[in-house]
Amino acid sequence: MADSTVTIAVLAPDLLGTYGDIGNALVLERRLAWRGLSARVLGVNPGTGVPETADIYLLGGGEDAQQTLATTELVRSTALGRAVDRGAVVFAVCAGFQILGHRYPAAGTERPGLGLLDVDSLRTKDPRAVGELLADPIAASVAGAELGPLTGFENHAARTRLGPAARPLAAVVSGVGNGFDNLEGAVQGRVVGTYLHGPALARNPALADLLLSWVVGELTLLTLDEVDQLRRERLIGQTGAQAMKGRSRTRAWRNWQTRWT
Computed on alpha carbons and rounded to an integer, the radius of gyration of the chain in Å comes to: 17
Give the pairing type, strands 39-44 and 6-11: parallel
How far apart are alpha carbons 49 and 118 in whole angstroms? 25
Quick check: is 49 catalytic? no
**Helix and strand totals (H; E) in the chain:** 9, 14
Q: Is 134 helix (H, G, I), strand (E, B) or coil?
A: strand
Q: What angle do helix axes 23-33 and 205-216 make, rounded to 10 degrees?
A: 60
Catalytic residue of the set 25, 94, 138, 150: 94
Whether 190 and 88 have beta carbons less than 8 Å apart is answered as: yes
How far apart are alpha carbons 243 and 80 in whole angstroms? 41
> Strands of 150-156's sheet, edge to edge?
150-156, 129-137, 170-174, 183-184
Quick check: is 100 catalytic? no
Can the peptide bond before residue 168 be classed as cis, meaning omega within 30 degrees of 0? Answer: no
* Total residues belonging to the chain: 261
Catalytic residue of the set 30, 197, 234, 245: 197
Whether 9 and 50 have beta carbons less than 8 Å apart is answered as: yes
Q: Is 115 helix (H, G, I), strand (E, B) or coil?
A: coil
Beta-carbon contacts of 108 under 8 Å, excluding residues fewer than 6 positions away, are none
Enzyme catalytic residues: 94, 197
